[in-house]
Amino acid sequence: MTRKNMNDLFFKLEIPEPDYNLAIGSGNHGEQTGKMLIEIEKVILKENPDPVIVYADTNSTFAGALAGSKLHVKLAHVEAGLRSFNKRMPKEINRVLTDHVSDILFCPTQTSVENLKNEGIVKGVYLVSDVMFDALLHFSKISDMKNNVLERLNIKPNEYYLDKIHRAESMDNYERHKNMLTALSKMDDIVVFLFMQGQEK
């Protein structure tokens, strides 16, 4: 699935078109983050938002956080405090650095609150719901109504698992990838796979 097709799919799920499309595209982490930082800074200076809100742990998350903090705009991070404790993962670097420059930190779990506390972050921390789970519940209903996905695949609700395999640690390691697929093949239930290739941004 190309990036354009993915964008088209998301906007069909009742998400409005963005006011700004930075059109950065793929690239190395430093190149991509730098380009986004330049463009996001322009938008912040033009719009003068209060606050800047960034989500999750992508390169765009960190670029937005860095731009906002450099311009001394109040910064809110949604999905704060999540940790894999694996600094070889680019997303781990993004989420840690974003949390440490944020003024408001919206945590999805008590564990994420504790992770922040262990790093000395206690001010402006709020335990809220898991927005990814909320989005899944909301948009899965819309998607199924529009596309009849389960009916076309001849799958009944609550009788399948969806496995999204996309992290470099899984996709780029043959043995790990093989072990995952072998384990899933032994399940009695139906498993629907969503494979995503390419660098995570």
Q: Annotated active-site positions, please? A: 166
Contact 90, 29 (CB under 8 A): yes
**Rounded to whole angstroms, what are the CA distances from 15 to 12, 20, 99, 155, 174?**
7, 14, 26, 27, 36
Q: Which residue carries 């779990």 as its tokens?
A: 109
The Cα 105–Cα 114 span in angstroms is 12
Element (H, E) at 110: helix 110-118
Residues 6+ apart with CB under 8 A from 105: 76, 77, 80, 81, 99, 116, 121, 124, 125, 126
